[in-house]
Structure 1
C-alpha cells in the first residue's frame, strides 16, 4: 500500500511542480500582452489565448498536487482538533464518498466531449487563434484521473492510520 501511495504521490508531485512554472510564464506573457497593446498598440491573439491555456492547465493539472500537499481549503472546525484516527476516518469517508465518485464522474462525463474534440482536432473559434482546444480539453479527464488517484492515496493513508500502521507523515 505504501509503495502505491508513494508512486501516485510522486507522480502528482512531479506534474504539479512542472505545471507550477506556468504561473510565472502566465504572468510574464500577460505582462507582455499588456505592454504590447497599450505601449506599442499591437495585439497578439496567440499570446492572449496562451494565457487562458496556461491557466487551464495550471488549475486542472496541479489540483492533485495541491491535494497531496493538503493545500485545499477545508472547513476544519472539528478536523483541526481531532485525533489522528478521527482525521483518518474523515479522510477515508471523504475520499470514498465524495472525492473519488466526483473524480470518476468528471472523467466519465468528459470522455466523449474530449474525444469529439480530438476527432475534429478542435481549434480556436478565432481564425488566427491557437488550433489546440482539443489539447486544453484533455486536461479535464486528466484532472479527474489525477485527483481520483490522489483520493486513493488519501484512502490508503487513512487505512494505514486506522489499522495502527504508519502515521500520515511517515508514509510520505
Structure 2
C-alpha cells in the first residue's frame, strides 16, 4: 500500500483503514467463540464416552456456537480474501478488469442480496424475540432469539466490510493499482 500513497486520497485510505481495522478487531473477538465450542464438545465427548452420561444441552450449544462462529466470521474472511473465487480466470485478468468485475459484483449482487437477507433475518429475529421462541430439537429447549440475531449481525458486518472492498475495487478499476493484494487461500 505504501508505494501508491501519492495517488491516493487520505480520506479514502483513512476510511479503508478504519473499516478494515474494525473487521480485524471483530474477527479476533469472534474467533474466541471457538473456545466455548471446543470446551462444549470436549465435555460432551468425555461425559458420553467415559461416564456414559450424555448431556441434553451439548447438541444445541455446539450447533449454535459453530453456526455463530461461521456466520460472524464471514466479514473477516471477506477482508482476508478467503472466500471462493474462480482463480482459473481471475489470475489472467488485469488489475483494472478485476476492479471492474468486483465493483459491478458488489453493486449488483453483494449489497442488494445482503440488504435483503438483513431485512428478512431481522424480521425473523424480532419475531423470535417477541414470542421468546425456543428450540424443539432437544429436551433442553434453549431460547432461539440470540442465535437468530447472529444472521442480521453477520449481514451488518459483511455490509460494513463490503463498503471497504467496494472502495478498493473502484480504486483498482480507476487506477489499475491494487490497494491490498489478497493472498490465494489453498484448500
Q: TM-score, normalised by structure 2?
A: 0.81
The answer to whether structure 1 residue 21 and structure 2 residue 40 are counterparts is no
Question: Which residue is 2:169 aligned to?
Answer: 158
Equivalenced residues, count: 169
Cα distance per residue 1:2-24 (max 9 Å; x no partner):
32222222222212122222234
Q: Which residue of 1 aligns with 2:94?
A: 83
Aligned equivalent of 1:128: 140
8 A contact 2:172–2:179 mirrored in 1: yes
Name the stretch that deviates more: 13-22 or 111-120.
Answer: 13-22
- Segments of structure 2 that go 5 or more residues without pairing to the other structure are 1-11, 182-187
- Distance change (3 Å), C-alpha of 1:5 and 1:121: farther
* Residue 45 (structure 1) aligned with residue 56 (structure 2): yes
TM-score (norm 1): 0.87
- Cα-Cα RMSD: 2.0
| CA–CA separation in structure 1 for the residues paired with 2:92 and 2:176 | 21
**Cα distance in 2 between the residues matched to 1:87 and 1:77:** 13
Show structure 1 runs of 5+ residues with no match: none
With 7-16 and 120-129 compared, the bigger mean Cα shift is at: 120-129
